[in-house]
Amino acid sequence: MCKQDNVIFCELLCRVLFITMGYLYIGYALTYYAITQDSIAYVMNYQDSEYKSVIDGFINASLSIGAACAALVSSSIVNKLNYRNTFIMFDIVGISVGLLFTIQNINVLIFCRTLQGFLTGLNSALVIQYIYHFVPLKNVGIFVGLGPCLMMVGLTLGFAVQWIFLGSSASEYNQDLDYGYLGFNNWKLIFLFTTIPCTLRLFGMLFIIRHNLPFEQLKNGNEEKARLIIQNSYPSTISNQEIQELLVQIKQNLKEENQNLKYLFSKTYRKSMILCLIFGVLQQFAGINAVNFYAGVIVGTMTNNDTTLINLANVINGLVSIAASVFSSIMINRAGRRIILLIGNGFCFISLTLNCIIISIQSQGEQEQKTFQLLNLVFLTIYVISYSLSLGPVFWVYLSEVLPTKGISLVVFINWISCATLAQIFPIIVEQLSLQFNFGIFAVVCFFLEVIFYLFVFETKGLTKIEIQNLFQNQKNYVDIND
């Protein structure tokens, strides 16, 4: 790579990092409530309510419901405002919501969680689409993979901030004592941290990322400007033929944006839509957001509610998730999508099954508890690593490659509805049945995903959307195109 290409690569990386602050926001939003929910229940007087599990489930589900609504309207918003203005406007809203969170009222909490969910869904639907519009095809895996990496950073930040600033749940504090700013009401400070990713990206959008995308120039009929942007933004090795192919691809995307939802189930996209809709549902019921939303309950059950072990396990899981996501973003580009899904999901199935068995044995109370606590945490960590390598990042990369904008929005909507359902029913199932029952469901889902990946998922590495369309339409059975 020449010096000019290095500069261009660094500029692309800088832009991608600012854009993917949206995924940092998603990661933090998914976890910061996981341990603070007991403190919130205590200060808002429903800790001893017989409906506590239902209320906890609804507050967690409200974020996913908001995200699902955003996924449905995201493409319409972008069409009216363009990507840059959309991110600017909603980052300002995100900062405002972070400030509103400090009001100690359950109705305000639910409203803010729903609005925060809307911002989460908007980011999950648009960030990768935005990146796909200006990143060279050969670098898509690396740059798109940075989104899930930043999400893992957000997850870890959520757990770490809770450990540092909260430590114990509010019910463990003596309200007669003065704990000062770093005491009983620290949950307010934890909620304020949601403003950080919004502030960082708002700065980037206002002062760093100022020019339009080739996509937006073509939309306005300025093909020459679009060509010029590509020439200035891509490595010097790009040929005129490659530029022309990119322009054709962008024009195809614009044409598809004007199609109705019925078009998504026409011959062109029917197979890929059905596959991605199934993937979108099962990806949630593989269990990762249950682990994120109810980390305190899950790890607490595994460790007999040892607060230190709960905090330590959550932070360690976050750190290994970051490492796994970084490794995955590299391997997605090198090894491909399908093999990573098969291997990573296979380990998810094995670790969940072992967790289910160990928790069942542990519940008998006749075995050495410390040994089983350690084994539970080890297999939970393996599950988190495996998910962060495969189901997490590859899902978003695959969507951006095989579906048009409206198709992505619909799948993301279904994905978040599935997340809301999981968030609502998980604490009820744990309360009425058991934790191992939930883990058994997650393991079964991973088994079905393994079958689906083996039979129906095509390798898409290095292919344009048009080539991927042809692959889905013309081949009845999977054939590895790299063979």
SS3 102: coil
Q: Phi then psi for 403, rounded to 5 degrees?
A: -125, 155
- Domain edges within the chain: 3-210+259-474
Q: How far is the C-alpha of 106 from the C-alpha of 37, rounded, in Å?
A: 12
Q: pLDDT tens digits for 329-348?
A: 778 777 888 899 999 999 99
Q: pLDDT tens digits for 186-227?
A: 677 778 888 989 999 999 888 877 666 777 777 777 778 777
Task: For Cα atoms 346, 142, 241, give the angle at the middle one, nearest 5 degrees.
Answer: 120
Task: For Cα atoms 159, 163, 169, give the angle at the middle one, nearest 5 degrees.
Answer: 105
Long-range contacts (CB closer than 8 Å, 24 or more residues apart) made by 90-95? 90/119, 90/122, 91/198, 91/199, 91/201, 91/202, 91/205, 92/198, 92/202, 93/119, 94/25, 94/119, 94/194, 94/195, 94/197, 94/198, 95/195, 95/198, 95/199, 95/202
Name the architecture of domain 3-210+259-474.
Up-down Bundle (1.20)
pLDDT confidence tier of residue 160, bands split at 50, 70 and 90: confident
The residue type found at 345 is N
Residues in Cβ contact with 201 at an 8 Å cutoff, skipping those fewer than 6 apart: 18, 19, 21, 22, 87, 91
* pLDDT attached to residue 238: 65
R_g (Cα) of the chain, nearest Å: 23
Q: pLDDT tens digits for 374-418?
A: 787 888 888 888 888 888 888 888 887 888 877 888 888 888 888
Q: Are 257 and 405 in contact (CB under 8 A)?
A: yes
How far CA 226 is from CA of 15, 128, 204, 222, 243, in Å, comes to 18, 20, 22, 6, 10
At residue 41, does pLDDT exceed 90?
A: no
* Alpha helix stretches (DSSP H) within 166-194: 186-192
Higher pLDDT, 173 or 41: 41
SS3 24: helix
CA atoms within 13 A on the CB side of 385: 17
* pLDDT attached to residue 183: 46
Mean pLDDT of 74-86: 82
Higher pLDDT, 6 or 451: 451
Q: How far is the C-alpha of 240 from the C-alpha of 229, rounded, in Å?
A: 13
CA 6 to chain centre: 29
pLDDT confidence tier of residue 460, bands split at 50, 70 and 90: confident
| CA nearest to 287, candidates 159, 435, 149 | 435
Q: How far is the C-alpha of 364 from the C-alpha of 380, rounded, in Å?
A: 20
